[in-house]
Structure 1
């Protein structure tokens, strides 16, 4: 599932081709995604120039003079830059055709992604305005996390996965961050000391930074692939149930928090 690093790597990978590019056509191959694709997008976008490609949380924002296109990749969505001569496949739902001859194509076999349009400030859109601070900015710091976590009787992994607390951290990077700071995922958020909040903030920033650097060096968004996949990573705990911990060799455990799986090492995290 695309989380903040995957979305940021996507932004970095498509920005050069899109910024300053003129949109010559828009094709909606399937309008029924997680939400219906807005009607009239071709008329709104054709002939417009893309001023910038931004990200807020897990949303990509393509800013044009008359408004902004918001893209969410859902659980299985990918964006690719392909030639206009490349025919869309069965899971390709949306094409943004550029004057350069490239097409920005959305592939999403489960259709949990979504496309939105706003003519107002995109950061004030209902989907974005309540998102918490970006984790790689100074706004996400020890003081902020400590203050927000007071009296919260919720597991810390679920707490930092709340987009109103901090932007873009899903199950994978929450589990990996907690491993880095040696904290069990079911630790109550309200029980954290300031020192633990600092350790967690630092771990989140380190985990995301390393992941983005890994993806930026390996992903090519113009490469044709039969099966689209995000960049491979050497994760410490996520998805590694019963495999040896990369640090202590104890078997990685799998648990449940609400309706989500969590992974941890009982020896390294306490």
Structure 2
């Protein structure tokens, strides 16, 4: 039988797990010590990755400490096998945290599609489906606000050739917010009156939301992230990455609770 602390740790790890899964990795809980040290194992693409130490301390440990006051530290054990060859590693660039959060949102959308695909004709939505959508929306909102507060000011001051793209990206964000509103209303309708029609409305709303998010992510990866990384001097890149990481650490819990 697992201890209460073990169960609390598993629940907390489930909150940050999508962040790691978005990069093709995952977290295994190995042990919870009486001294408050949590032992974990990063697997998949995280094995041998240069950003793994950042993930352990700046993401996992900070979050566990914020949620579980008894946690005194996090120890990472190495996986016995080095992982599959040719796997994609975590981004080490200036916008690594932004790209990882993009992949976390993508992973959530993929799971939502799988959940919908597994529903029998006329059956109700899974009990936790609406909560999963809310968590997806919270992560998207966190990503956008990290960009708005940290990335966009740098673009407007130091990479002015990209500044003209920001108004249309902000407009696209507003369209995504509307799409999420429509998506959540469709979910409420399916809960109130389960039917094939209401389920189809949920599927359509998810597809429309996912399409807009994909457009947003693609435009930013292709037109912003790479150009910012290539244009800024090293000192400013380090400062920007630190600002983005600190914003995420300070706010991830608040966004998950919204």
Higher relative contact order (CA 8 A, sep 6+): 2
Greater fraction of residues in helix: 2
Common fold: TM-score over 0.5 = no
Q: TM-score, normalised by structure 1?
A: 0.34
Greater fraction of residues in strand: 1
Q: TM-score, normalised by structure 2?
A: 0.35
